[in-house]
């Protein structure tokens, strides 16, 4: 396996034609590709799915929170 001309350190973006069909498995809403972090972002839920070797990891457990949400009413820890 030889490295490509662009070098193996550069994250590999997903196929653009594929991105049009991808939706968040939780909200069923379209996702935005973020080139800087090589992630698919769901602005609505504030989560980001990682892209590994050009393949989006759409498992909700793999997603990370992109911003802190205020705690929901009545969910404060004692």
Q: Identify the CA nearest to 38 among candidates 24, 55, 25, 60.
A: 55
Q: Identify the CA nearest to 27 among candidates 44, 39, 49, 48.
A: 44
Q: What is the pTM for the complete model shown?
A: 0.69
Class of domain 27-65: mainly beta
Q: pLDDT tens-digit profile of 24-73?
A: 999 999 999 999 999 999 999 999 999 998 889 999 999 999 876 555 55
For residues 62 and 78, what is the distance between their CA atoms, to the nearest angstrom? 29
Sign of CA dihedral 44, 21, 59, 2: negative
In contact, 15 and 54? CB cutoff 8 Å:
yes
Q: pLDDT tens-digit profile of 59-69?
A: 999 999 987 65
């Amino acid at each position: 396996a030889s490295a490509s001309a662009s070098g193996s350190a550069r994250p590999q973006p997903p196929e653009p034609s594929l991105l049009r069909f991808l939706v968040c498995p939780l909200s069923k809403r379209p996702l935005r590709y973020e080139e800087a972090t090589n992630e698919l972002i769901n602005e609505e839920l504030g989560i980001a799915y990682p892209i590994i070797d050009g393949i989006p990891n759409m498992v909700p457990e793999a997603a990370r929170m992109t911003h802190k949400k205020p705690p929901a009413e009545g969910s404060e820890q004692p």
